[in-house]
């Protein structure tokens, strides 16, 4: 059993977090909420998402799995406007998810979850942690997209730095400790990442909301933030690009 009512913004937030990495996702439903974990086809990035039942206006569920086509769900949600209430019901007889927006009803066929992987979250011991405002970070990333396809992130005990270098141009964003929400490291850490992936990861976070980044030297990066009015949490992992000598 699964039936829920939720604000369209919450559901769109879940789609924005998941759809850049995977077209199909296995949602694990429990009486306490929903969760998913997925790895992109290139095995470069991973998402771990949990949304508590409290993020929904109504939520009744037993333990089950729903295989959802994220493109289809995104297409349905494009028909909704801000403030719309969306109802979700699992129809066991037809194995469909019934999505209602106002007077519109869409019955969406589900994907068999039997072949879908259950990726494990690796236990990374990353030495540097920085927390900063989404607006600061996205400004640097947007500037970098114009000059390169990768960027370097550096953290030391005094500041956080983003650097991108193209054939002719460079972008540099340097934030001293007093402009950051938090900075914690005993060592200098630097890694290089794909801008496309990194940009998609931070897009769902708005304005002054904080983003936590954990980083090492040529290690995967861990990006964390809250969604659904702090009733949901997202963790991304992104593999580094190793510079060739």
Q: Which fold has domain 128-238?
A: Proliferating Cell Nuclear Antigen (3.70.10)
Rounded distance between C-alpha atoms, residue 104 and residue 45, angstroms: 35
Continuous segment of H or E residues that includes residue 226 = strand 221-227
Q: What is the pLDDT at residue 244?
A: 53
Whole-model pTM? 0.94
For residues 182-197, average pLDDT: 96
At 127-169, the pLDDT tens digits run 999 999 999 999 999 999 999 999 999 999 999 999 999 999 9
Show me where the domains of the chain are located: 2-109, 128-238
pLDDT for 56-77, tens place per residue?
999 999 999 999 999 999 999 9
Q: Which fold has domain 2-109?
A: DNA Polymerase III; Chain A, domain 2 (3.10.150)
How far apart are alpha carbons 5 and 14 in whole angstroms?
14
DSSP secondary structure letters along 164-225: EE-SS-EEEEEEEGGGSSEEE-SS-EEEEEEHHHHHHHHTTS-TT-EEEEEE-SSS-EEEEE
Q: Which residues of 146-163 are buried (b: 16+ CB within 10 A; e: fewer)?
A: ebbebbbbbbbeebbbbb
Band the pLDDT of 243: cuts 50, 70, 90: low
Helix H or strand E encompassing 18: helix 8-18
């Amino acid at each position: 059993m699964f039936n829920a009512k939720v604000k369209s913004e919450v559901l769109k937030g879940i789609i924005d977090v998941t759809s850049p990495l995977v077209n199909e996702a296995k949602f694990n439903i429990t009486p306490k909420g929903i969760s998913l974990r997925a790895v992109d086809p290139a095995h470069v990035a991973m998402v771990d998402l949990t949304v508590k039942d409290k993020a929904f206006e109504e939520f009744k569920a037993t333990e089950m799995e729903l295989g959802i086509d994220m493109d289809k769900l995104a297409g349905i949600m494009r028909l909704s406007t801000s403030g719309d209430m969306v109802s979700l019901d699992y129809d066991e007889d037809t194995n469909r998810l019934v999505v209602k927006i106002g007077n519109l009803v869409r019955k969406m066929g589900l994907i068999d979850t039997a072949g879908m992987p259950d990726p494990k979250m690796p236990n990374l011991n990353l030495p540097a942690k920085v927390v900063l405002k989404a607006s600061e970070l996205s400004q640097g990333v947007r500037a970098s997209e114009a000059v390169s396809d990768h960027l370097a992130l550096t953290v030391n005990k005094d500041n956080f730095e983003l650097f991108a270098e193209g054939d002719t141009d460079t972008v540099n964003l340097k934030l001293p400790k007093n402009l950051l929400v938090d900075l914690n490291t005993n060592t200098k850490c630097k890694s290089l990442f794909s801008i496309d992936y990194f940009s998609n990861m931070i897009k769902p976070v708005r304005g002054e909301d904080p983003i936590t980044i954990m980083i090492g030297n040529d290690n995967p990066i861990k990006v964390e933030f809250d969604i659904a009015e702090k009733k949901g949490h997202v963790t991304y992992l992104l593999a580094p690009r190793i510079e060739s000598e």
